[in-house]
A and B are shown apart, each in its own frame.
Chain A
Amino acid sequence: MFAFTVKRILQALFVMLIISLLGFSIKHEFGDPIRDMVGIQVSVKDREILRETMGLNDPFITQYARFLKNAAHGDLGTSFFYKKPAMHVILSKAPATIELVFASSLIVILISIPVGIFAAIKPRHWFSRIAMGGSIVGVSIPVFLTAILMIYLFSITLGWFPSYGRGETVDLWGWHTGLLTADGLRHLIMPAIALSSIMLPLFIRLIRSEMMEVLETEYIRFAYAKGLKKKRIWFIHAFKNTLLPVITVGGVQLGIMLAYTILTETVFQWAGMGFMFLESVQRSDTTLLVAYIIFVGGVFVIVNTMVDIIYGLVNPTIRVSGRK
């Protein structure tokens, strides 16, 4: 287990190194820190001097090493648009995204588990058929379309929910949360449902297929033969073993959700990281863009490494053979 953990962590560091190299080369080639600092009013000569003193004429490797050293201290450069350290900008936007992802995960978990289990135990029931049919339709509807149609229906036509923004937020030790005010919650409902709409069908199908597979196994048949109550077999014996693969896939899906927040946040003008990222692309704020790539890359790598290690703890066979 120790060797496995070390290997995973080394791999994570290696991936981060690659991502940072990629990020840095973009910044090196296409960002212009001088423009970011002084604008266009300063003469060419002054620029050259500034360039020299900032070390921008140093060889690529030297600059990359400096970039890495700063990055390790949490300094990813200064955003051209916000005139603030990029890391601060990202961290100030992170709570909005985290709350959105949290709310949607909650919706996904609360709906997909009961529906998935039901569809597995009673595959011929009309509800299961509707759920499975609905899930393939759900997979085919892009998340931004769901979001737009929800806005049209519930905000413009019915006026039930606000169509953009986070609403009133409360400062909770530096964490601006919208979860504690009624207005903030009202703003959260539609984005959360829209974001969960892409994950829900996937999870329902996943839970159903895993559960059906487990129900076919010998020990479940043995449990029936022993005369255990059906409910006990379903919810205690079978469901426990369904959870394991669901958790691993769930960890990976969390990353996918982060990708879809870019779409959801754009539609709802949700002031999170995804919205900020898209703005930084439009403003060609290279520093912020690169900082986002590195930050998100870091989140992905940490989540995946943790999932791998946890999975390794739970299921010893993969420590030897590698991930399936």
Chain B
Amino acid sequence: MLKSKTFVKKTRSGGVVKIVREHYLRDDIWCGSEACNECKQESTVLQKDACIESNLCSFPHYLVPDTNVVLHQIDVLEDPVIRNVIILQTVLQEVRHRSAPVYKRLKDVIHEKEKFFYTFTNEHHRETFIEREPGETANDRNDRAIRVAAKWYSQHLKSDKNGLQVVLLTNDQGNKNKAEESGLLVYRCEEYIKSLIANPELVDRLALSNDDKNEVTSSKVLYPEHLPLSKIQTGIKSGSFIQGTFRASRDNYLEATVFIQKEGDDSTEVLIQGLQHLNRAVHQDVVAVQLLPQNQWVAPSSVVLQDDGAAKDDSVEEGEEEKALRISAAEAARKPTGKVVGIIKRNWRPFCGMLNVSQIKESTRHLFTPADRRIPRIRIETRQASSLVGNRIMVAIDGWPKDSRYPNGHFVRSLGGAGEKETEEEVLLLEHDVPHQAFSQAVLSFLPKLPWAITKEDLAKREDLRQLTVCSVDPPGCTDIDDALHCRELENGNLEVGVHIADVSHFIRPGNALDKEAANRGTTVYMCGKRIDMVPELLSSNLCSLRSNVERFAFSCIWEMNHEAKILKTRFTKSVINSKASLTYAEAQMRIDDVNKNDDITKSLRGLNKLAKILKRGRIEKGALTLSSLEVRFHIDSETHDPIDLQTKELMETNSMVEEFMLLANISVAQKIYDEFSECALLRKHPAPPPSNYEILLKAAKSKNVEIHTDSAKALADSLDMARVDHFPYFNTLLRILATRCMMQAVYFCSGMDSDFHHYGLASSIYTHFTSPIRRYSDIIVHRLLAVAIGADSTYPDLMDKHKQSALCNNLNYRHKMAQYAQRASVAFHTQLFFKSRGIINEEGYVLFVRKNAIIVLIPKFGLEGTVFFDRKDKNNPNLVFDEEGPTPKVEQHTFHIFDKVKVTVSLDDTNIQHQKIRMALTDPVIPGVSVPPPDVEPQAKKPKLDR
């Protein structure tokens, strides 16, 4: 079947080692075209009538892009319009070496069936393989290989009746000329895209390439040249440069810090000030900095500077603003200052933001302002500016030449009108790096086929618990039910308690596309009124969800307890259950309280509740913290999906009942998997906060003459319980809110990589997440570990590799953090929507923190926090005296303390459409020049309009 020819390829690498490799050239690599009769291929990818309507090519044609076109114009290639493309192996390999993200995107496109992308293995083909000639560079050789392959295709397809042709796309002039000489049809990428009929918007997606001659080039060089990588590396080695992550300042576009990770955990910062020194670094880039001599060191300025010179262009007079920065600072405040000498790795991603339309009407160049203030503005070229105004759009940076004030970029896509709910939600997700695209076909292909039923084989492997009175208790409207409970009395008088968790790991097998996608997403993200699933809906809301009266697979953790809630026996098993009822917290509470009810479910619930109370008491005695944070819940209008009311979440006994058993299950499982796999168990820890974290709490408590002990979790818990002030019942809650802010973040880790397992908040020596595998990937891994531990499933190499586990934990921690931020941002956005419709409201609140020039006020009714500034831009600043000891700011005659009760007005500040925010203003106490008069209009007046 194959006629192979052996020959030898020699390459010299590094030293003087000669590498000899065989290379088999084949004649059984087919062209992949439907129109071809010669090739004996089984299936074809490229269509017979490949039609993209174009002015340049009126005949059907296939596109052959070269490497640079793929690297720079991947946004264009991804567009559904572009189809029937031949990706040569040479190109694929070069892309793989040059850019991993582009390579991944290219592979995704190739896998997409609708796009008709074909990979032609030209390097192994007998007629298209070429050897590097003496004196030829690797790049030239690859260019030639691309031309030879394109030539081969055009010869090969010559016999086609429809006049099918091959079009080579290249931006390299030399390559183009050579291709034309050999009789190939060749176009520049821009040329070709512009010729496409009916798709003018594609032009905007074209990335600006460096050799684009019509660039706005002011002759003036604005930035110093970046050093080449080799020089940077020697510099870093010799210690003259330092490598670090560039973090732009949110408030001042002329200032940034570079974080330098040293050995161990400690890190230092270097301050960078001024455009010249920032030298085109963008937030999150990895850069090399050089420290300035000590006499040029400066202090970070406290000035807020926003780059808002809309009319300014490259010829900006930057001098004045920079001078404003250099106000001579006190010697002591000076910090190590440096300048960026080179970029080690760019970390550009597509940015969300809005377009500032150029004043010149006909201009096609516009500035783009990203939503993230740390990202500089980007210059893009578009012909559809007028239709993009007021929209949120995405833009990618292409490059930042040294003679350009702003980086150059290109338009990627429009997200929708600014201020609209869908658009803003999309922006939130994108800015927090939450993967939220629909699941790809590859992922969906691993779902079980419907109709799905439990088979005999399944039953044989699992314990049949269908007869048990299992029920689930969840918040209202929950469709991804991942836990259910039961409790019954055994014959020996003891109680049997079971926690049944959805068996997601049965459906998600390690290593397949579904698993990889879930591992990448890491967690389900709950936005207000919207859920971004970690696993496809079929699993999350149906097959895995432990709904009532259907048979479902579960992973059960079953304890035998005595009536004092002492665990006598623990057992884990894969099972089949049939939940008898899915209740809400309120429903469950009503059943427990209703003395007339005496059915099995109610009895089971009462048993659970009784045990939970004992467990909770035990836990608190051990020093578990009960902290507080206000969570709000929106009542969302079912028609318009606008929030109509806001309510802080209420906690019932049943909440804590479910929580108690979940904690117990998690701890039991953590112990089991750690005993079994001491090196690779996935656990969760919550480090004790350093004492300095508690300072705010201690000072605040002292102001009310309350003593808080922070020596241990137990001491803290006890002193929080004792902390009460007469006539101020809310004080305790406020204190707990403050205490929450002092805590560290709980994180996942791999047991083989760490020695400190303690969970501070729960006062448990070991902890993990087992109970929500539908919405957390960590739980899936824990399920797999536990399944192996009890012999119910087989293991796989990655599960036992502590380094891979640890990498996975890092991703999960990152995703969890981002999901939390996104959720908070979503709540903030809905709060804004809510206040937008309410107008100005006068509310009571408490001072939570004090700052030099502001107080932060919490309004318990809405769970809303806001800042009240004392100084204003337009008026004369009031007389401010700040006492560091308290800390208490004194404004005019009034002194503010933490926990003071104040009255504020709340309204929406939408002067800046990109950054809408809640504005609070003081009404009581009345301080001239600071407070505002309470609104005369009763907010209720506006209500009828809302009810509709």
Q: Do A and B bind each other?
A: no
Residues of B within 8 A of A (CB): none
